[in-house]
């Protein structure tokens, strides 16, 4: 039996069926199972974020959809690196431009910026 897991919480989906129904939800967190993020064809870098060309546009990849091409991806979900990437990018920007949140010497107006 192939193991399937929720994209959101990682809880296993236990069923004798190969695919979840359109409105099936995760027992662990209530997320929809028939969604792009659980599909083996979901590729964020691909056109329409789908490996299969000409699929219908889906606005929210975590919500239920009625895509006929859906196939549950096997194995546990990949770790979501988006937050880590955002944090790293913010650190690089702060290092490059400086973190001005608590810098009292930063100019507060246009005139202060070009004062001699």
* Low-confidence residues in the chain, pLDDT < 70: 1-2, 77-84, 99-108, 113, 116
Instruction: Collapse the DSSP code of 96 into the 3-class scheme (helix H, G, I; strand E, B; otherwise coil) and give the result.
Output: helix
* Beta strand extents in 1-104 (DSSP E only): 4-5, 12-13
> Could you give the CA distance from residue 108 to residue 40 in angstroms, rounded to a whole number?
51
pLDDT tens readout for residues 41-53? 998 888 889 999 8
The domains of the chain are located at 1-101
pTM value is 0.63
């Amino acid at each position: 039996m192939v193991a399937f897991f929720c994209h959101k919480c990682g809880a296993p989906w236990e069923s004798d069926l190969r695919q979840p129904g359109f409105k099936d939800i995760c027992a662990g967190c209530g997320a929809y199972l028939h969604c792009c993020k659980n599909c083996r064809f979901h590729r964020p870098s691909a056109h329409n974020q789908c490996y299969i060309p000409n699929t219908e546009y889906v606005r929210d990849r975590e919500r239920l959809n009625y895509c006929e091409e859906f196939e549950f991806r096997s194995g546990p979900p990949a770790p979501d690196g988006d937050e880590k990437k955002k944090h790293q990018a913010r650190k690089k920007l702060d290092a490059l431009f400086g973190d001005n949140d608590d810098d009292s010497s930063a100019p507060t107006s246009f005139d202060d910026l070009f004062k001699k």
